[in-house]
A and B are shown apart, each in its own frame.
Chain A
């Protein structure tokens, strides 16, 4: 390959693609041609860079300069200024919210600084559709090592000693799982990669397959060697077309090179991979349902034991691990268990990927060492809460995780601490909530999700989630009763105790954890008919402050149901009988006027909206009312 002086590492993860990354790539190619730079500069398509909140984005190498929020219109200027004349363009760089000067280098941006990339070691560095680039980054060196100098037992011992625990949620020690499977007499054995990522707001697995598909596959081949399997499945959601395309490309190029298939690298060991697509049922992320789904049966979890490691797909011993777990394996083999086990905490080793979303400045995908505090994630990496709002809670572990309140912000992130706090690691979703989030409403949202996704096999999960949802709906509608809280706790605990799979045993977590930490909010809804976060529509009213209204008619013109009465330079009034509480008036009222407020509870009593508009009188710049 001819040398270039600049490589533009353009992110084409799903987030950036949705933001127009391929249009950026076209614009770049076009302008590079126009300037006659095509022999000096190349555009490299990479997987997700992680800083999704700033996409479409790219990294300029070898300078290490980061550009975000790109539009095709920016490109001609950028190419001429930076790539031709060597003057980096400040306005396209990252600027921290509170500072005026941009941070040119990716390595200096706080979002990246505290991260430690093991699983995502190749993200943004390689083109995920070119196997040679994976190979160049020490790809398949672990497989080489395993096939030439380690017995299957050596491999299992190394993984056991590393302390690696499954990244799918439950945190079961990976080495132990492999050992159990290896000890089984029955043949054949199978390997499965669980890429059925269903949590709202989670995209760790997708990202790994979009940015570095072969790392997880190399892990699976090594796993196959360790347990004695020659066939593996990747179970992925069909909603991940880009990830699946890159998986397919990787499999065919690995087969071409003889790194997959019969007699890998000329040894006796053979291993094949096959992709199976799920149809978006959340319960398929549960291992026994996933196995049934691959077999072509309905995905209803089955009682364990026997565990899949003993009797899995087609009744054969099967090791099923999450994408992240598989992608960690080659690194452990290459760098050793001792190195790996030094990262993290006493019981949780290594790093974990989180998708950091919600009310946070730097939304994106992060990989951090276990034991990092929640505070470091939210403030140092995440850059805090937008608009200087107050941080309220973080929901970890997906819809069946729990909410961790601000008071516990110093909690270290590891398997045990999160469970102690009433939540869980889960697969690594992290949803940040600010003061404008109603915790009862959040609990209702997640229960609605798990209720929809319950497979219906266990009564407690199927009907229990229904019952929880009904009571939560009553509370948010202002029809809550004091006994409801007791009911929620009792039913929540019953669902936990009596459901067969992980979905049921964890689904009450959002309710139970918010009841534990935000009981006052539940009580306000029930006793005072008040929603403290001003979210629940039945419990709030919009009101125009007469002393602030300038009578500009902006809200009146924009109100969808026509609930606002008024005329020019007259104080406007909201007719409460017509108001649908859509919030449009609040959005359109100019910030310097800010005449519209939301009220809840007692304050609502006197607001009827039956008065008539009256003229605005001004004196010394203020209204007289």
Chain B
């Protein structure tokens, strides 16, 4: 490999930072896909893949995707919860990969809740 110049090193750093962003705990929005047995049965894994593909093409990696168990509303699976920093979380139900991609673009990148698919704002209170 050719020796790096200062600018090349800086460029490399920017590129490399994308590879480790998950570990640094810095993100603006978080998607939680509910992966109970019910969710997986109706396609939650495809929803995960769709979201991951959307994250893949971002230049600024500030979205994280995690999974959690069944949200208790099995009839509306696949479900996902979207949390933007400093706003209440929004739950979406009856998802398809197309719906997921639209939510990604409009809600996560655009900041506008997709009311067509939203089933509730906020989370239930813990006992």
- When distances are taken between beta carbons in the complex, the residues of chain A under 8 Å from B18 are 1
A contact residues vs B (CB 8 Å cutoff): 1-7, 9, 36, 39-40, 44, 61-64, 83-87, 125-126, 132-133, 135-141, 144, 148, 256-259, 261, 263, 265-266
Task: Please determine whether A62 and B3 come into contact, CB atoms closer than 8 angstroms.
Answer: no
Closest beta carbon of chain B to A612's beta carbon, Å: 65
A5 partner, pick from B24, B36, B52, beta carbons under 8 A = B52
Closest A residue by C-beta to B69: A87
Which of these, B19, B66, B68, contacts A133 with CB under 8 Å? B19
**Interchain CB contact under 8 A, A148 and B6:** yes
* Residues on the A chain within 8 Å of B10, using CB: 144
> Would A133 and B16 be within 8 Å (CB), given that A5-B48, A7-B22, A125-B24 are in contact?
yes
Q: Which of A36, A126, A136, A266 contacts B6 (CB 8 A)?
A: A266
CA distance A148 to B13 in the complex (A): 17
**Contact A257:B34 (CB < 8 A) given known A64-B25, A136-B16:** no
CB-based contact A257/B35 at 8 Å: no
Size of the B side of the interface (Cβ < 8 Å), in residues, is 42
Are B13's CB and A135's CB within 8 A? Answer: yes
Q: How many A-B residue pairs have CB under 8 A?
A: 109
| Alpha-carbon distance between A96 and B40 when the two chains are bound, in angstroms | 34
A4 with B3, Cβ < 8 A, contacts A84-B35, A135-B12 known: no
CB contacts (< 8 Å) of B85 on chain A: these are: none
CB contact under 8 A between A84 and B67, given known A4-B22, A5-B48, A132-B12: yes
Selected contact of A136 from candidates B13, B51, B64, B66, CB within 8 Å: B13
A86 with B3: CB separation less than 8 A: no
Contact A133 B27 (CB under 8 A): no
Known: A62-B64, A136-B16. A3 touches B23 (CB 8 A): no
12 contacting pairs across A/B (C-beta < 8 A)? A3-B56, A4-B52, A5-B65, A9-B23, A39-B49, A86-B32, A86-B68, A136-B16, A257-B9, A258-B4, A265-B9, A266-B6
Bound Cα distance from A87 to B69, whole angstroms: 5
7 smallest beta-carbon distances between A and B, as pairs: A258-B3, A86-B67, A136-B16, A86-B68, A5-B65, A132-B16, A87-B69
Determine the distance from Cα of A64 to Cα of B33 in the docked complex, in whole angstroms: 17
Contact A62 B67 (CB under 8 A): no
- The reply to whether A62 and B23 form a contact with Cβ atoms under 8 Å apart is yes
- On whether A86 and B9 interact (CB within 8 A), knowing A136-B20, A257-B3, the answer reads no
Give the most central of A63, A85, A141: most B CB within 10 Å.
A85
B20 touches A126 (CB 8 A): yes
Contact: B35 with A86, CB < 8 Å?
A: yes
C-alpha spacing A370/B34, complex, angstroms = 45
Is B113 in the interface zone, CB < 8 Å from A?
no
Q: Are B5 and A266 in contact (CB under 8 A)?
A: yes
In angstroms, Cα B52 to Cα A1, docked, is 13
In the assembly, what is the distance between CA of A263 and CA of B2, in Å? 13
Residue of A5, A36, A125 touching B23 (CB-CB under 8 A) = A125
Contact B4 A5 (CB under 8 A): no
Closest to A124 in B: B23
**What chain A residues lie within 8 Å of B69 (beta carbons)?**
85-87
Q: Which of A3, A259, A266 has its CB near the most chain B CB atoms (within 10 A)?
A: A3
Residue of B3, B16, B23 touching A266 (CB-CB under 8 A): B3
A86-B32, A125-B23, A258-B3 are known contacts; what are 4 more A-B pairs with Cβ within 8 Å?
A62-B22, A256-B1, A257-B1, A266-B6
B61 at the interface (CB under 8 A from A): yes
1/0 per residue B83-94: CB within 8 Å of A? 000000000000
The minimal Cβ–Cβ distance linking B27 to chain A, given in whole angstroms, is 7
Contact A5 B1 (CB under 8 A): no
- Tell me, yes or no, whether B115 is within 8 Å of chain A by CB: no
A39-B52, A135-B16, A259-B4 known; A86 vs B23 contact (CB < 8 Å):
no
Q: Are B20 and A3 in contact (CB under 8 A)?
A: no
**Complex interface: chain B residues within 8 A of A135 (CB):** 9, 12-13, 16
User: For the complex, is B76 an interface residue (Cβ under 8 Å from A)?
Assistant: no
B75 in the interface, Cβ–Cβ < 8 Å?
A: no
Of the candidates A5, A84, A133, the one whose C-beta lies within 8 Å of that of B20 is: A133
Q: How far is the CA of A140 from the CA of B6 in the complex (A)?
A: 10
Closest chain-A Cβ to B120's Cβ sits at a distance in Å of 19
Does B118 count as interface, using CB distance less than 8 angstroms? no
Q: Min CB distance, B28 to chain A, in Å? A: 12
B40–A85 contact, CB under 8 A? yes
Bound complex: CA A61 to CA B16 (Å) = 17
Bound Cα distance A126, B27 (Å): 18
Residues of B within 8 A of A126 (CB): 20
Neighbouring B residues of A87 by C-beta, 8 Å? 68-69
Residues of A within 8 A of B65 (CB): 5
Structural contact, A5 and B66, CB atoms closer than 8 A: yes
Q: Is the CB of A136 within 8 A of B48?
A: no
B12 touches A85 (CB 8 A): no
| Inter-chain contacts of A2 with B (CB < 8 A) | 56
